[in-house]
Amino acid sequence: MIVSKPLRLRHALRCALNTGSTLAFLTLTASAVAAEPVMAESAPGCSAPLPASRADIQLRAALPLVQNLCIRDVREGRAAVLLSAADATDERWGFLDNQGQLVIKPVFEQVGDYHFGAAAAMQQGKWGYIDLTGNWMIQPSFDSVQPFTEAGLAVVKVDGKSQIIDRKGIQVGKALDDLVDDAVLSNGVPARLSLTFNSVLLSPDGVRHVATDKMEVVEPFGSDDLFIAVDATKGYGIVDGNLTWRVQPQYTSITLDPRNPSVALAKKADGITLIRTDGSQDEQKYLTVSEETGAFWLAKTVDGIKLLNNSAAVIATFNEAGAAALRVSGDYVLNPASKDSLTLYVPGRKQPITLPAGSEPWEQITGEFLITTKGEQKKVNAIVAPSGGVIGGTQNVGWLAQISSAEVIDHRLWLRNDQGDVVNVVDATGKALLNQKSISTLEGSRIEPLTASIDAPSASAPQALALVRPGNTGSKNGAGFLRPDGSLQLDTKWQDIEPADSSNNIGQFIVRTADGTGVVDVQGKVIIPLTEDNISPFVQGYALDYLNGKLTALDHAGKHYDLPNVFEIESLGNGWFRYRETAAEGALWGIYDVISQKTVLQPAYQDVGDYSEGLAAFKSPEGLWGILDSQGKVVVPPKYAEARRINSALWLLTQPATDGQSESAVLAEITGNDAQPRIAPVAGLTVNQFSDGRILATSAAGQSWLLDAKGNIQLHEQQTRISALGDWVKLSRQPQQGYLSAQGEWQIQPVGESRSSAFVRGRALRSTPAGYELIDDKGVRVAAMPEGQWSMPPASGWSVSYDPQDNEPATRYVDNTGKLVLTVQGHASQMVDDHAVLTRADGTKTWINGQGKQTDGVSYADLGLPVDGLAFAKTDGKYGYVDAQGNFAVVPVFSAASPFDSGVAVVSTQAMSMMIDKTGKPLARVDKECGISVLYGAGSARQWPATMPENCKP
């Protein structure tokens, strides 16, 4: 009979186990390892590397970078073992004792390791806890669990909510906040509790939406309350305002182009998918996508390059050469490929426009309009409006050839000739507002466009587009204005005209005639009779008016108010005027109320701001700002570097900076019109306003407040960051760490902006903005730590720092009194029982003692700390165990090895895991036979299963 090589090796291995010869066993294992076949990904074998993310953790704890799988590492004299279930239909977990005996049968779907006499175990999809005999301490009723801690507490989760239980399974302490996402208890007494929280999305109407499963909302998308979000697995998708996934989190990234956020680019291995602002996904996958204009994209596929609009619809398809020939002008895409015409792609239109061959974009920038020229003289031959309307092109329009300059003002195109005269005005629909009659009427006039401010009223209140003034040669039509529909309002008696208000928004104009000056509205109706000598533009609702040599104040209704006889006077709004009595340098301002005809305040201030809501800011002679009320009484003392209105109800008051103080350290506060503080002074306070008037205030330290327009605080939660997502608000509570007593109550309350270690030997390490400190079990500071980043390993009484020293890698140790006791060059592990593992510059490892002295002759690729006189060590890619002198006591032939625990350790090859004693003698092993996991004891006696499947022959 011919026996295959793997079968021969397995037979030889069994013989070695039967003899009890460790040397024979190890020799055969070395051969077996060399002959192992490569395992399929679906069957990873009995050992595997740990994730790279754990490398630094393992290095600091002096633990191996590989793991045993079929038999897990021993803890508290028990090792979890994965075996075939009794019916051989599936695999289940049980436990071995430190003699290699199966003391708990494989009946559990999953298990944790033992911690303080209890191990987590799962049956029928629910978790509970078993004792050392495998009996249920706490029946399986939880969705997830964590190990029990030294304090006798554990964290469990039911229906997505975390709770803390004792060893009887009873909830202890106060119920955790509903927003808690993860709660983690650490060993030590008291027990450290680390809390992280779900973020909350607050809609503009105040409804809260809690993001579960570690969902994080990244940024708003579109105008329909959609958001880009990422889930616990770091997959990106789209959620709606209820935080329901509209696009499942399946992408490695979803990004918006800052120049054109009309579609989102969702990326994963098979290409780029475009997501529209309604949350729908385009079916096409693209290799690359690039923004070309604010309205068009170029997307590459294997079949060609597509021109897409902002709805991800394909407008045209090109080959590489055709796409390279495309030109961009503003938001328009031009295709000059045809000899007979120019194809033009217009934003918002699926069908292109055709212009005569030879048409080229004008060199001048014309915003949302496109102007093309033709011929050697580059005469304008076409104007394309944002709507797609065309003037010229295939039709001859005579006045186009006169154009020499163009300017876009309030979404209208103003066209002028070489002399600077207006040729025409084109609106966004492509309509020319001036007809031939209007052009003839305006001949000899100066046309001056008006620009509305951002506070312009709605379209129901028509405004003038331009003022019309007589030119230098005069105009028989007089002055007036051009309306938005292209009609003219001219009067031969009007000699000049100007806006009645600098904002151009009130629809009134100051008109001068031979008989006097007055005010008219946009329909030409006289508001203030044209009989005044002179009227200045209105400021804060009032103009200065001269009549018969007397200066008065004039409101928009035409009512006159007497003014004091002073050198200089200016309107502050709502009837208040500030005045200076003399022209002397540094002359101070006083305040006069024209409505009451009384002096509010004699000249006393360097500056006075606008007056509204019965208040005005003022600047004292010492250069500091305060606030006055309507009686001129100081309601906020002048002690601020700046007093700025946030809105009609609130002020931002900024204190003076001290010498060398950074901007983020300067204190500021928010105060209401009642002079009562809304937010007390805090460093680096910034203010942002939502479109509905709400206010988001944030300090440099991350404190946040959400206020309504009147200054009432709607939201301010401790350690919660409030951020704006469009008109929505995101609440991100910062992680917290504190310490619990055995009764589940806070023994040491969480401290803001601090992070802590678990307690080890009565001390814990806490980081604060001021640095690291050691605390006792009451939370009292015991000692300050040296400068640097410190950690306290769970098995060591010494804290460790890995901050470089003199730009060289270094490890520092501090004892539990805060004293620096050792500094060594290189990266060393935690110090346990006067041993640490030092990683040299070449990557090899050795031991050092508490004085930093290296152990002679010890140098391995991986090395652990001695336990029971033995430590795992790796050489030539294999693990074994070395004694206190660094000599191998167990030959290095394994692909994985654990530290010793309870006198035993677990080792593995790719094909099997074994429990061995300190002599290297196998006590148990798990092997694969006939497709199932089989457990053998010492001497190759099968422990599990009791009988092998019938199709499995010896």
Token pair recorded at residue 515: 């008989």
How does strand 677-683 pair with strand 686-689? Answer: unpaired
Q: What is the pLDDT of residues 385-438, one digit of tens each?
A: 999 999 998 888 999 999 999 999 999 999 999 999 999 999 999 999 999 999
Which band of pLDDT confidence, cut at 50, 70 and 90, is reported for residue 39?
A: very low
Q: Which residues contact 640 (CB under 8 A, 6 or more apart)?
A: 624, 625, 626, 653, 654, 655, 656
State yes or no: pLDDT of 27 exceeds 50: no
Q: What is the pLDDT of residues 836-846, one digit of tens each?
A: 999 999 999 99
Say which range, 40-54, 357-371, 394-408, 473-487, has the weakest mean pLDDT: 40-54
Neighbours of 239 (CB within 10 A): 26
Measured distance CA(279)–CA(263) in Å, rounded: 9
Q: Which CATH class is domain 205-318?
A: mainly beta
Please, are residues 463 and 507 in contact by the beta-carbon 8 Å criterion?
yes
pLDDT reported for residue 26: 38
Measured distance CA(274)–CA(673) in Å, rounded: 49
DSSP states along 313-380: -EEEEE-HHHHHH-EEETTEEEE---SSEEEEE-TT-SS-EEEETT-EE-SS--TT-EEEEETTTTEE
Taking residues 478-499, report their average pLDDT.
Answer: 93
State yes or no: pLDDT of 240 exceeds 90: yes
Measured distance CA(457)–CA(464) in Å, rounded: 12
pLDDT reported for residue 474: 58
Q: Which residues contact 70 (CB under 8 A, 6 or more apart)?
A: 46, 81, 82, 908, 912, 913, 926, 933
Measured distance CA(93)–CA(309) in Å, rounded: 57
The long-range contacts involving 444-447, CB below 8 angstroms and separated by at least 24 positions, are: 444/470, 444/471, 444/473, 444/474, 444/475, 444/476, 445/469, 445/470, 445/471, 445/475, 445/477, 446/470, 446/471, 447/421, 447/422, 447/482
Measured distance CA(482)–CA(480) in Å, rounded: 7
State yes or no: pLDDT of 445 exceeds 70: yes
Looking at residue 914, its amino acid is: M
How does strand 550-555 pair with strand 542-547? Answer: antiparallel
pLDDT reported for residue 642: 97
Please, are residues 810 and 825 in contact by the beta-carbon 8 Å criterion?
yes
Q: What is the pLDDT of residues 130-153, one digit of tens each?
A: 999 999 999 999 999 999 999 999
Helix (H) or strand (E) holding 30: helix 22-34
Q: Is 811 helix (H, G, I), strand (E, B) or coil?
A: strand
User: What residue ranges in 74-160 does DSSP mark as E strands?
Assistant: 78-84, 91-97, 102-108, 110-115, 118-123, 126-130, 136-142, 144-145, 154-158
Q: What is the pLDDT of residues 649-671, one digit of tens each?
A: 999 999 999 988 999 999 999 99
State yes or no: pLDDT of 529 exceeds 90: yes
State yes or no: pLDDT of 168 exceeds 50: yes
* DSSP one-letter code for 410: T
Which band of pLDDT confidence, cut at 50, 70 and 90, is reported for residue 62?
A: very high
State yes or no: pLDDT of 881 exceeds 60: yes
Token pair recorded at residue 378: 């580059």
CA-CA-CA-CA dihedral for 840, 844, 850, 856, to nearest 10: -110
Which band of pLDDT confidence, cut at 50, 70 and 90, is reported for residue 949?
A: confident
Residue ranges of the domains in the chain?
A: 205-318
pLDDT reported for residue 29: 33
Q: What is the pLDDT of residues 733-767, one digit of tens each?
A: 889 999 999 999 999 999 877 899 999 999 999 99
Please, are residues 483 and 433 in contact by the beta-carbon 8 Å criterion?
no
Q: What values do phi and psi take at 430, rounded to 5? A: 90, 15
Which band of pLDDT confidence, cut at 50, 70 and 90, is reported for residue 454?
A: low
Average pLDDT, the chain: 91
DSSP states along 546-580: EETTEEEEEETT--EEE----SEEEEEETTEEEEE
pLDDT reported for residue 953: 66
Q: What is the pLDDT of residues 330-358, one digit of tens each?
A: 999 999 888 889 999 999 998 999 999 99
pLDDT reported for residue 522: 87
Return the bridge partners of 547, or none: 550
Q: What is the pLDDT of residues 353-369, one digit of tens each?
A: 999 999 999 999 898 99
Token pair recorded at residue 804: 């470089």
pLDDT reported for residue 473: 66
Which band of pLDDT confidence, cut at 50, 70 and 90, is reported for residue 694?
A: very high
